[in-house]
Structure 1
Amino acid sequence: MRALTLVVAVLLLGGCAALDFVPGAGGTSTVVGESDDFIVVVATHDGETAEALARTHLRDPAKAWMIEDFNGAREFKSGKRVVIPKRPWNLAGVDPTGYQLVPILVYHNLGAQSSGRLVLGVQAFAEQMNYLKREGYRVVSLAEFVEWLRLKRQLPRKSVVLTFDDGYQSFREYAYPVLKKLGFPATLFVYTDYVGASRNALSWEQLKGLAAEGFDVQAHSKTHGDLRRAPGETDAQYAKRMQAELAEPPRLFQRQLGQGVQFLAYPYGRVDDDLLTRVREQGYAAAFTVRRESNPSFARPLRISRSQIYSEMTLEQFARNLNLFHHETLR
């Protein structure tokens, strides 16, 4: 709101060097000023939406989140001044009251009914996804999240990332229809020994089809074994095992899917400093644990946190994993 007040104040004070006055109609809003960074409009009817303003003034309704985040509202009353950012204004998501967090959720198996902690029933899954949509969360891709860590893009304040581990056939049967209907991206972390290994596992051909439809497929090691050095394992033995676990999946991905691998999900979320060094040497751009917390823009790229979603969680418990902001007075 401070940024909104500042921009409007410049306009009202006649800061013509910053904002040119260009009165005129903009669909259901009137443009009253524009600079290289902002457009200021006045809504001409109650219920004017950020999506409609983004479609009219930014030529892209998907950028509605920029208007929502900058103005702190999704709809506007008649006569309300609305600032429309033309470009990112806070790449790191940091302001004087704290900093933005992005939760990454991790699912495993899905089923017609919940069964055990890691098999979530499709009805509960659909309820969770519809909750995200209804409450205005923006599901972003893992690649977009990593670009945010590199300060190469700004993310919506209510961003969330969806990931699915192991490579179960149930993703295609149960998750895919829900995600496609809602337009949500997702990343599948698969361990290569499991691909096509049983009727419950996705095949390379199915993974290739999912990738062609925009779903991201990344590495979860070769065998899903603990990647930390085992007790009594020699340097030579560990180096050989890590060569198979970390170097073989990218080669298989290239051969089977025609794409490389950027990201790794640690099996069981387990990682130590020795493993970090080897993951870095293999060229992975980001790697993911299952530490239950959301991530700031300054998160360590090889220790990114994810929150596991269990079948026994109520919708209220699910929502507790969606921590979006850390409040702290920053000076």
Structure 2
Amino acid sequence: MSKLVTKALALCILGLTVILPSLQAAKTNVLYKDQVAVIMYHHVDDDAKSGGTITTKLFEDQLTYLKSKGYQFITLRQFKDFMQGASVPHNAVLVTFDDGYESFYINAYPILKSMRIPAVNFVITNDLENPLASYIPSLSRDEIVEMTSDTNFIDAQCHTNNFHYKLPDGSPALIGRMVTNGKKETDEEYKQRVIGDTQACVAKLSELYPEPIDSYAYPFGYFDARAIDYVGQGGMKYAFTIVPEMATRDIDPMQIPRINAGNSMITPEVLHNSILRRIVAASNPSAEVPLAETLSQLGGKATVSGGAVTILYGSAQWQGKVNGAGLTNGTATVTLQKPLYTKNNKVLIGIKDLETVIGAQIVYNPTVQSYAVRQSPAVKK
């Protein structure tokens, strides 16, 4: 009996030596706080070859590596609560899939289930009528019911009902205008088409499980201001883009960014580094920044000659002076909140003033200790 007890204790100790380091890593290895890395996949398959396909091994390796680095995976419900003001674990990650392929059920779901990692799949609900008719087989109703009922961390949401195609003119069905018998649809017809398609997606998924169907992934990543409005009228409160940034509460919930993870070239280390490069500091470390150095990090250039300051960013050129309170590009003038000034032989500018000049939000990444322009979709509500 004593030998059995001793052996049992030894096994317990061995188990703790395996478990405790990973738990400790999750507690102490704080990479970022109060933001979420939403990562995006499409197809997990060991035979298919495409830019949106990865093997089951790579998929599992990515998730295992992220776990080892202290990332913590959250559910869609947790993500939505976060967007409404709730807290999330440090190093939070939300796993998403687009297109509703059956490979999610066959190859990805067993891995997710065994590792207890939540995920959401954005489904093209028109494919539910005949899942095997697609070029790539799609999820069936039974498979969705099984996954969502057997766990409390797998979700199915909308990738439109039947808008995952392009019109004859090349525009995506979500934002293009249909032409029937030579007649282009009116604005009202377009509006009703988008709202109706969204409502159809909600209705079909609502039959399968009881969670709210209020989240959407834009097909092909394309959308515009009207599409945002009408998708919202169709019942969506959250919509996901393909803009590669971190998700924070200050973004539009109908324009949520995602970081691509579903390419065969994205190794676990590459995915980890891709997330690190996009971490957003809670606030900029300084109200004023060195003009030339910061612009260089943003992809622009600033020069100072005899007190004259020239700023080049994109196609615009701005002129000003040290101790001057304004910058002009010939057709427009920006009045600075604080004049340009020199300190330690460097010209400094207010971060808010620089954002006004370049027309974009500037964020600080504490991991790489540099500034960057925060990417955003071309359209705004």
Relative to the length of structure 1, the TM-score reads 0.67
Query: Secondary structure, in 3 states, of the residue corresponding to 1:195?
Result: helix
Label 1:204 to 1:253 Cα distance change in 2 as closer, same or farther (>3 A). Answer: same
Query: Secondary structure, in 3 states, of the residue corresponding to 1:250?
Result: helix
Q: Which residue of 2 aligns with 1:217?
A: 156
**Deviation digits for residues 205-229 of structure 1 (CA, Å, limit 9, x no counterpart):** 1101111122111111011243114
Q: How many residues align?
A: 247
**Cα distance in 2 for residues equivalent to 1:237 and 1:218:** 25
Task: Report the residue type matching 2:145 in the other structure.
Answer: K
Q: Which residue of 1 aligns with 2:11?
A: none
Task: Say which of 27, 37, 41 aligns to 1:103.
Answer: 37
Query: How do 1:88-99 and structure 2 match up within 5 A?
Result: none
The percentage of aligned residue pairs carrying the same residue is 26
Label 1:147 to 1:63 Cα distance change in 2 as closer, same or farther (>3 A). Answer: farther
Query: How do 1:238-257 and structure 2 match up within 5 A?
Result: 238-257=190-209
Task: Report the residue type matching 1:147 in the other structure.
Answer: D
Task: Say which of 269, 273, 278 aligns to 1:316.
Answer: 269
Greater relative contact order: 1 or 2 (C-alpha under 8 angstroms, separation 6 or more)?
A: 1
**Cα distance in 2 for residues equivalent to 1:253 and 1:222:** 10
Task: Say which of 166, 169, 175 aligns to 1:228.
Answer: 175
**Cα distance in 2 for residues equivalent to 1:63 and 1:275:** 45
Task: Report the residue type matching 1:236 in the other structure.
Answer: E
**Cα distance in 1 for residues equivalent to 2:24 and 2:157:** 27
Q: Which residue of 2 aligns with 1:294?
A: 246
Does 1:191 find its partner at 2:113? Answer: no
Task: Note the C-alpha offset of 1:239.
Answer: 2.2
Task: Report the residue type matching 1:222 in the other structure.
Answer: N
Query: Secondary structure, in 3 states, of the residue corresponding to 2:239?
Result: strand
**Cα distance in 1 for residues equivalent to 2:112 and 2:33:** 29
Query: How do 1:4-153 and structure 2 match up within 5 A?
Result: 68=27, 72=28, 100-113=34-47, 115-151=49-85, 153=86
Q: Which residue of 1 aligns with 2:141?
A: 204
**Cα distance in 2 for residues equivalent to 1:211 and 1:102:** 23
**Deviation digits for residues 46-89 of structure 1 (CA, Å, limit 9, x no counterpart):** xx99x98xxxxxxxxx9996xx3xxx469xxxxxxxxxxxxxxx
| Structure 2 runs not aligned, ≥5 long | 1-15, 166-171, 179-183, 288-381
Does 1:329 find its partner at 2:276? Answer: no
Task: Say which of 108, 127, 135 aligns to 1:175.
Answer: 108
Query: Secondary structure, in 3 states, of the residue corresponding to 1:217?
Result: strand
Q: Which residue of 1 aligns with 2:354?
A: none
Task: Report the residue type matching 1:239 in the other structure.
Answer: K
Task: Report the residue type matching 1:207 in the other structure.
Answer: I
**Cα distance in 1 for residues equivalent to 2:63 and 2:42:** 15
Q: Is the 8 A contact 1:148 1:155 kept in 2?
A: yes
**Deviation digits for residues 251-309 of structure 1 (CA, Å, limit 9, x no counterpart):** 11223435541111111111111111112222312111111111112121000011222
**Deviation digits for residues 174-194 of structure 1 (CA, Å, limit 9, x no counterpart):** 111211121100001101112
Label 1:286 to 1:117 Cα distance change in 2 as closer, same or farther (>3 A). Answer: same
Task: Note the C-alpha offset of 1:233.
Answer: 3.5
**Deviation digits for residues 14-53 of structure 1 (CA, Å, limit 9, x no counterpart):** xxxxxxxxxxxxxxxxxxxxxxxxxxxxxxxxxx99x98x
RMSD: 2.9
Task: Note the C-alpha offset of 1:314.
Answer: 2.7
Label 1:325 to 1:63 Cα distance change in 2 as closer, same or farther (>3 A). Answer: same
Q: Is the 8 A contact 1:100 1:296 kept in 2?
A: yes
Q: Is the 8 A contact 1:102 1:160 kept in 2?
A: yes
Query: Secondary structure, in 3 states, of the residue corresponding to 1:162?
Result: strand
**Cα distance in 1 for residues equivalent to 2:42 and 2:91:** 23
Q: Is the 8 A contact 1:107 1:118 kept in 2?
A: yes
Q: Which residue of 1 aligns with 2:168?
A: none
Task: Note the C-alpha offset of 1:241.
Answer: 1.7
Q: Which structure's CA Rg is the greater one?
A: 2
Q: Is the 8 A contact 1:103 1:306 kept in 2?
A: yes
Q: Which residue of 2 aligns with 1:86?
A: none
Q: Is the 8 A contact 2:33 2:89 kept in 1?
A: no
